[in-house]
Amino acid sequence: MAGHARYTALLDACVLYPLAMADALMSLATAGLFAAKWTARIESEWIAALEEKRPDLQGRLDFRRDQMREAIPDWEVPEAAWLACAGGLSLPDPDDVHVLAAALAGHADCIVTANLKDFPAEAVGALGIEVIHPDQFIVAQWDLDQLVAVAAFKRMRARWRKPSATAEHFADAMERGGLPATAQRLREAIELI
């Protein structure tokens, strides 16, 4: 499997589960700020977690999954690739080893996760993988290219089902979705989104 020319981020299930967070990450990736990767297992995890919390969505998340796959055609780190990397890896939660293995197999520069404690620096640092919270990651992408990031968020807001929602409501939704620093950046650019 070849590496990616752009900065590559392996997205953990916990950042693909919340809609606002996943949409923000997908929007920035499709804008070309980074290459997004995940596995079929990570995909199954976020779907199962969302269906557990929202039983009314049981069996109805295929559309969202397919939209994500379509937005990021080279999303998948194949199971055979990450399984080959998993041997010998150790993390506090053995269920997270596949995420680290996928990051290695997918030539990721970082793992974007809200569960930072599950990937301690002593376990992943020597492997050259940075572990970063999604809010910090999104702000870093914003800092790399503010115009591209603002345009991506503007397009994201335009896709909302409630077109009458104000830019402030949009920023509030990001904050409620676990992205307070991102929300602050959006408020600072309120006239542009």
Residue 165 is predicted with a pLDDT of 78
In tens, the pLDDT along 31-66 reads 999 999 999 999 999 999 999 999 999 888 999 999
The distance in angstroms from the start CA to the end CA of the chain is 38
Backbone angles phi, psi at 18, to 5 degrees: -70, 130
Residue 160 is predicted with a pLDDT of 83
Give the CA distances from residue 181 to residues 97, 120, 121, 140, 177, in Å, rounded to whole numbers and listed in that order. Answer: 29, 23, 23, 10, 11
Structure tokens at 151: 């345009």
Residue 1 is predicted with a pLDDT of 41
Is the confidence at residue 3, as pLDDT, over 90? no
Residue 59 is predicted with a pLDDT of 87
Residue 2 is predicted with a pLDDT of 46
Is the confidence at residue 184, as pLDDT, over 80? yes
| Local confidence band at 129 (pLDDT 50, 70, 90 cut-offs) | very high
Mean pLDDT over residues 92-97, rounded? Answer: 94
34: left (phi over 0), alpha (psi -120 to 50) or beta: beta
Question: Is there a contact between 112 and 136 (Cβ–Cβ < 8 Å)?
Answer: no
Most confident of 4-13, 86-95, 96-105: 96-105
pTM of the model: 0.94
Residue 61 is predicted with a pLDDT of 93
Q: Which residues pair with residue 10 across a beta bridge?
A: 37, 111
What percentage of the chain has pLDDT greater than the value 70?
Answer: 96
Distance between CA atoms of 78 and 4, rounded to whole angstroms? 15
pLDDT higher at 175 or 162? 175
Question: Is there a contact between 24 and 140 (Cβ–Cβ < 8 Å)?
Answer: no
